[in-house]
A and B are shown apart, each in its own frame.
Chain A
Amino acid sequence: MDFVYDEISEALGEEEGFFDQAEFEENMSTHYGRMIHEDDRTIMFANPEDAAEFIGFDLVAH
């Protein structure tokens, strides 16, 4: 599930760049699943393994 910041900025009637990670955090109260913040979007993952793969994180401890 991708929260694309510019899409939301536009829907809000604001300039591109208005809606950002800080704005996202402010308006989200709770979340369930793995959350990855990128510069232009926040991505939610249902499976932790998928999120780990997305950012190249090795889930297996060495």
Chain B
Amino acid sequence: MACFVLLTSDREFADHNKALLNQWLQVWTPRAIAAARDLQPLWSQPTPGRRGSRTAWTGSRAVQRLLADLGLDTRRSCPVTTFKTAESPFKSDNTASNQCGVTLMNNQVGAVMAQVMETKPNVRCRHLRR
């Protein structure tokens, strides 16, 4: 940081230096992000003690702040909103549903139990098929 500040706040060459540094960022930031995305499947493996990809991406916010402090282009540096494989598509909702229910065996007795219960008010029967 200290050594880059000298370059980006130079009285004479600040603009030139910033332009050059931004040019480097333009080339290397997308490559770094693409590489990090490709590593996501590894981060997503459930290994105790290993930090997940979300944690890793938040590190990129620090980079973004650093670039902002230096007056450099931060637009491509923080892709925290995009997840390709890290988040599960199965969401859970632990709020009360005000419902109760059972799953029944897929056999003769279970089928008849469902038939009987289906006739009752406020009972909804969903037949699961493979």
Q: Is the CB of B100 within 8 A of A33?
A: yes
Q: Which residues of B contact A24 (CB under 8 A)?
A: 113
A44:B102 contact, CB within 8 angstroms = yes
CA–CA, A28 and B117, complex, Å: 13
Tell me the residues in window 115-129 of chain B with beta carbons closer than 8 Å to chain A beta carbons: 115-117, 120, 122-123
Checking A11, A30, A33, A47 against B115 with a beta-carbon cut-off of 8 angstroms, the contacting residue is A11
A1 lies within 8 A of chain B by Cβ: yes
Tell me what chain B mostly uses at the interface: helix, strand, loop, or mixed. mixed
What's the interface size class on B, roughly? 20 to 34
Interface residues of A in 21-40 (CB under 8 A from B): 23-24, 26-34
Q: Closest CB-CB distance, B126 to chain A, in whole Å?
A: 13
B102, A32: Cβ atoms closer than 8 Å: yes
Taken residue by residue from 89 to 106, chain B's Cβ proximity to chain A (1 for < 8 Å, 0 otherwise) reads as 000000011111111110
Cβ A1 vs Cβ B112 within 8 A? no
Say which residue of B100, B110, B112, B122 sits within 8 Å of A34 (CB atoms): B100
User: Chain A residues in contact with chain B, CB under 8 A?
Assistant: 1-3, 7-8, 11-12, 19, 23-24, 26-34, 44-47
Show the binding face of B for A, using Cβ within 8 Å: 96-105, 107-110, 112-113, 115-117, 120, 122-123
